[in-house]
Amino acid sequence: MMKANPRKLTDEQIVKLILDEKESGYFEIIYDRYAKKIFNKCLSFTNDKTHAQDLTQDIILKIYLNLKRFSFKSKFSTWAYSIMYNHCVTAYREIDRHRSDMEKYYRDDTYSYHEDTEDMLFQLQVDRLKELLKQIHTEDQMILLLKYQDDFSIKDIQRITALSESAIKMRLKRAREKIMYLYRKKYGEKTI
Amino acid sequence: MTLMENMNKNPFKEMGNEDLPENMKRKVLTSVHLITLLGDFTELFTIKLAATISKMIDPLGSKKDNGDTTIHPVSDN
């Protein structure tokens, strides 16, 4: 019987093939599906392309090394993204310490906004959004990107980050507010 | 920008389009292949090592093989 085209298989079926047949060649399909997405996430944390590439390489190899631990109980995408999330949060812990200063100003500043900012966020120019994202914590950036770039549901983000549903909703809201706060501070009130 | 375009605008989607260099794929897949080879080698090496060690700590092992477990007295000569 002829084998189905592996490119048409789901992520989970490919992982099963890799594990059952001990054939690492199938991992190329996983690479093609995820490398660019992971790289672009990493790029949003740093301006340095080489650093983003190194980070991407580490994450992809970590995914491969941990394949045996994938339990097939969740979607492969959420499992792989949880490895990326944990790796990036750990890698940027030091930088996040410096970002805490900004967090302090945000909390103390009576000018901060407490309204729903989703629509406003979507009106931002790409370059400005990129720049503002780099100023907030890695965890907050990641949650925003998972929600608005990858369209993950709150339940999926919960599996990726191991945070509670209410914590994710609160973080999303606060992350949006922080972006708009930083935006207004830098560009003023009216120029979106 | 029309109202429809404005509604569909999502700067998050627009910012994730940077391509990876082609040599990166080769690098990663070579590493994956090496990890697999080394993994198999390590597994084989571990099995052989375990078998060798178990023989060393079981001095009666070879005697048990032919069923002879009697202790022979050492001759005075």
Q: What's the pLDDT at A189?
A: 64
> Hey, are the CB atoms on A64 and B15 less than 8 Å from each other?
no
Task: Decide: A140 and A171 in contact? Cβ < 8 Å.
Answer: yes
Q: Are both A130 and A181 inside the same structural domain? A: yes
Pick among A57, A144, A183 to test the B interface (most B CBs inside 10 A): A57
Interface of A with B in 114-143 (CB under 8 A): 121-126, 129-130
Residues A161, A167, A168, A169, Cα dihedral to 10°: 170
Element of type H or E holding B34: helix B22-56
d(CA B57, CA A9): 49
Q: Are both A111 and A173 inside the same structural domain? A: yes
Q: Are both A23 and A106 inside the same structural domain? A: no
Q: Are both A107 and A87 inside the same structural domain? A: no
Q: Are both A114 and A76 inside the same structural domain? A: no
Count of domains forming chain A: 2
Domain of residue A62, residue span: 1-91
ipTM score for this prediction: 0.78
Domain end among A55, A76, A91: A91
Domain end among A91, A108, A142: A91
Please state the pTM of the whole predicted model. 0.77
Mean of the per-residue pLDDT values of chain B: 74
Q: Are both A186 and A137 inside the same structural domain? A: yes
Tens digits of per-residue pLDDT, A67-125?
999 999 999 999 999 999 999 988 887 677 666 656 655 565 554 555 557 888 888 99
